């Protein structure tokens, strides 16, 4: 291959990289996925402990009873803390990676990812509230996995393509969980915990090491 041909290929490669950076959000750090998984496992452990301590005395009557409101208030607070830590950690590591690569984490591609991820997740959240209203507690965790997976698939076109495979795995796990009612927290721990850790390690080794 001649020198001019090599230069042309390098130029084309550079143009492709620039186009990818302008249309895809590629600053997301794999370490944020690892920590998200760790937080999820810790949160699931705390939730499991609390359920074991209270479910026998509270039972599953109406979620509007004082005992049930207290129980679900604790679980919601636990989930909110996990989400907050995950978000802050993701911003920290992503900003660190973006600064290293000379990119911004608040560009148009990042907003596209957020919007396409948020819509299915928001719909899923509303659906879970409906399940709670009608006492279908066993389907809440499966629904969270399914809608989160759909959000990842929907957002993958604006970020790493591998996010699509994580999304498909989350959806599949959620559907399996829907047919094994009573083990929602276990499947939730796998989907939001172990899957995130495995995917985060892959992302770090593939793109950041």
For residue 10, tell me if it sits in a domain.
no
pLDDT at 22: 46
Split into its structural domains, the chain has a count of 1
SS3 content of the chain, % helix, strand, coil (to 5): 85, 0, 15
Query: Which pTM was predicted?
Result: 0.80
For residue 11, tell me if it sits in a domain.
no
Q: Which domain holds residue 111?
A: 27-208
Dihedral over alpha carbons 150, 155, 157, 160 (to 10 degrees): -100
Residues of the chain with pLDDT under 70: 1-27, 54-69, 103-106
Is 195 within 8 Å of 170 (Cβ atoms)? yes
pLDDT at 18: 41
pLDDT at 56: 54
For residue 108, tell me if it sits in a domain.
yes
For residue 203, tell me if it sits in a domain.
yes
For residue 107, tell me if it sits in a domain.
yes
pLDDT at 143: 96
Which two structure tokens, joined as six digits, stand for 159?
Answer: 């970020």
For residue 16, tell me if it sits in a domain.
no
For residue 102, tell me if it sits in a domain.
yes
User: Taking the mean position of all CA atoms in its chain, how far away is CA 12?
Assistant: 34
* Alpha-carbon span 67 to 55, nearest angstrom: 10
pLDDT at 3: 58
Least Cα distance to 33 among 206, 194, 148, 209 occurs for 194
pLDDT at 9: 53
Is 86 within 8 Å of 79 (Cβ atoms)? no
Provide CB contacts within 8 A for 115, sequence distance 6+. Answer: none
């Amino acid at each position: 291959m001649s020198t001019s041909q090599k230069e042309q290929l390098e130029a084309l490669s550079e143009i492709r990289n620039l186009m990818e950076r302008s249309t895809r959000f590629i600053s997301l750090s794999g370490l944020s996925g690892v920590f998200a998984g760790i937080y999820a496992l810790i949160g699931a452990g705390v939730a499991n402990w609390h359920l074991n301590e209270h479910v026998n005395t509270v039972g599953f009557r109406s979620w509007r009873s004082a005992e049930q409101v207290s129980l679900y208030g604790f679980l919601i607070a636990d989930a909110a803390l996990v989400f907050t830590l995950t978000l802050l950690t993701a911003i920290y590591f992503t900003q660190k990676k973006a600064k290293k690569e000379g990119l911004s984490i608040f560009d148009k591609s990042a907003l596209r990812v957020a919007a396409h991820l948020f819509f299915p997740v928001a719909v899923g959240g509303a659906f879970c509230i409906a399940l709670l209203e009608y006492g279908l507690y066993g389907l809440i965790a499966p629904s969270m996995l399914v809608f989160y997976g759909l959000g990842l698939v929907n957002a993958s076109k604006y970020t790493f393509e591998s996010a699509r495979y994580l999304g498909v795995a989350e959806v599949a796990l959620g559907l399996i969980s829907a047919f094994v009612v009573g083990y929602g927290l276990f499947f939730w721990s796998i989907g939001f915990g172990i899957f995130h850790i495995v995917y985060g390690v892959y992302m770090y080794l593939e793109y950041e090491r």
